[in-house]
A and B are shown apart, each in its own frame.
Chain A
Amino acid sequence: MRWFLDMCVILYFIEDGDKDILVRKSHKFVNEKNNNKFLLCYYIKNENIPKWLNRQKILFKETIEQIGNLDNSDYVPYASKDSNALYSRDKNKIAKLVSFFRNISDKKEFRKKLDNTYLEIEQRINSFIKDYIDEFIIPIETIDPELKSSLMNYLNIGSPIKNESDAKTMCSAIQEHQNKELYVMTADKEDWTNETFGWAVPLSSNLSKKYPSLPEIRYIQNI
Chain B
Amino acid sequence: MANRKNAEQIKQDILSKLKEGPSSIKKLSEEVESTWATINTYLDELKNEGQVRELLSGSNLRIFVRTDYPVFYGLPLDIEKRNNCIFLLSKIIEFWKEKNDNEIPSKTTIQKIAVEIANRNPQFNLPIVRFHYGRVLPVIVEPTNISQIVNEYVLKKPSNYKEFEKEIKLEIGIDKGHTNIAWIERKKQYEKHKDMKIFQIKETLSYKFYKQNLSEDILNLFYDLFMEIPTKDRYSRIFRKYQDFISSVNFIFSTKEFQESNEDKKSRYISEIFDSFNSIWQELTTEFFFEDIEPSLINEEEKTPELVKESKISSCSSETDEKLNNLMEYKRSLHYLSKKLNGDEKQIMEILLEGANEE
Task: Known A93-B354, A108-B223; judge A16-B349 contact (CB<8 A).
Answer: yes
Known: A15-B350, A17-B346. A61 touches B359 (CB 8 A): no
Interface string of B237-270 (1 = CB under 8 A from A): 0011001101100110010000000000000000
Q: Does A113 contact B (CB under 8 A)?
A: yes
**Contact B236–A82 (Cβ < 8 Å):** yes
A162 and B353 contact, Cβ closer than 8 Å, known pairs A111-B223, A114-B348, A117-B345: no
CA–CA, A219 and B357, complex, Å = 11
Binds A, one of B43-51, B87-95, B335-343: B335-343
Across the interface, which residues of A come within 8 angstroms of B357, CB to CB?
8, 22, 186-189
Task: How many A-B residue pairs have C-beta atoms within 8 angstroms? Tell me.
Answer: 118
| The one of A7, A17, A108, A124 that contacts B224, using a Cβ cutoff of 8 Å | A108
> In the complex, A175 Cα to B231 Cα: how many Å?
44
Q: Assuming A56-B352, A121-B352, is B336 touching A111 (CB within 8 A)? A: no
B224-A61 in contact (CB<8A): no
In the bound complex, what is the Cα–Cα distance between A121 and B341 (angstroms)?
A: 11
B156 to chain A, nearest CB (A): 43
Chain A, interface size: which category? Answer: 35 or more
- Complex Cα distance A214/B89, Å? 78
| Interface size of B in residues (CB-CB distance below 8 Å) | 39
Q: By the criterion CB–CB under 8 Å, are B240 and A117 in contact?
A: no
Q: Which of A52-84 contact B (CB under 8 A)?
A: 52, 56-57, 59-61, 64-65, 68, 80-82
Which segment of A29-37, A96-104, A133-141, A196-204 sits at the interface? A96-104
Complex: A96 Cα to B342 Cα, angstroms: 18
Q: How far is the CA of A100 from the CA of B343 in the complex (A)?
A: 12
Complex Cα gap A11–B352 (Å):
10
Given contacts A100-B347, A117-B345, contact A11 B247 (CB under 8 A): no
B140 to chain A, nearest CB (A): 35
Kindly identify which residue among A11, A60, A126 contacts B356, using a CB–CB cutoff of 8 Å. A11
B313-359 with Cβ < 8 A to chain A: 331, 336, 338-339, 341-342, 344-359
Nearest first, the 9 A-B pairs at minimum CB distance are A11-B356, A187-B357, A65-B231, A8-B356, A117-B348, A8-B357, A188-B357, A123-B336, A117-B345
Given A57-B240, A119-B247, 15 additional A-B pairs, CB 8 A: A8-B357, A14-B353, A15-B350, A16-B346, A22-B356, A22-B357, A48-B359, A80-B236, A81-B236, A93-B354, A117-B352, A118-B247, A123-B338, A186-B357, A188-B357
